[in-house]
Amino acid sequence: MKKILTIATMLLIGITASAQLQVGAGFMYEMVQGDYDTNLSGLYAGASYNIKIAGNFGVAPGVYYTVGNKRSDGWTTTDHNILVPVYLNYAFPVGPDAEFFVFAGPSANMGLVYDSHLKINTKARIEASNNNWYSGGDDAIIPRFDIKGGGGVGFKYSHFVFTVGYDYGFLERDDNHFNLLHAGFAYSF
């Protein structure tokens, strides 16, 4: 039993020594495809922990906050989410401090608020309509949870990381798929 604990501890120390925290932010473009067919643009921010498993192969679990927004014909729509990806990655070194890499894997998505407002301004009155489509538990218009699958490419130079990726929403949420295109920068500690 002592040998197993010693080996497990040595492996954990080795994995932790080769892991890198990455903190980043970027732009996202959410495509709602189905009954609604709408697009929201916005920002994301968060962190991941890139763990090298063997050679150039690794895994990067992370947590990101995303917010998308759209204004059209008096409507303002905003979508807030927490995204938890677990990406497998493979690096292709191109120099002592530079590498290209590819990544792919699943993401869990939890919708926090999907809010729509309609404001009509006239001389006589102001009308407003509010609606949080995620609220209501089992009776919510759009279910909060989604599983996404996706991937992308990236480039790392020294501590600076640039990525571009796409995640496809597998679950139908009120007859729609919520897909995400994202591009951003991160700093690797």
pLDDT tens per residue, range 12-58:
555 545 689 999 999 999 988 887 778 889 999 999 999 999 999 99
Phi, psi of 123, deg, nearest 5: -65, -35
Identify the top-confidence range among 1-15, 66-80, 154-168.
Answer: 154-168
pLDDT of 66 strictly over 90:
yes
Burial environment of residue 77 by CB neighbours within 10 A (0 to 12, 13 to 18, 19 or more): buried
Architecture category of domain 20-188 in CATH: Beta Barrel (2.40)
CA distance linking residue 162 with residue 186, whole number of Å? 6
Question: What is the model's pLDDT at position 37?
Answer: 73
The CA angle 42-165-31, to the nearest 5 degrees, is 45
**What mean pLDDT is predicted for residues 137-154?**
85
Closest listed residue to residue 111, CA positions, set 59, 148, 74: 148
More confident: 73 or 189 = 189
pLDDT digits (tens, 9 = 90+) for 82-133: 999 999 999 999 999 999 999 999 999 998 988 877 776 655 555 556 667 7
Signed CA dihedral, 7, 8, 9, 12: sign only: positive
Sequence-separated (6 or more) residues with CB below 8 Å from residue 56: 90, 91, 92, 93, 99
Contact 149, 100 (CB under 8 A): no
Burial environment of residue 138 by CB neighbours within 10 A (0 to 12, 13 to 18, 19 or more): exposed
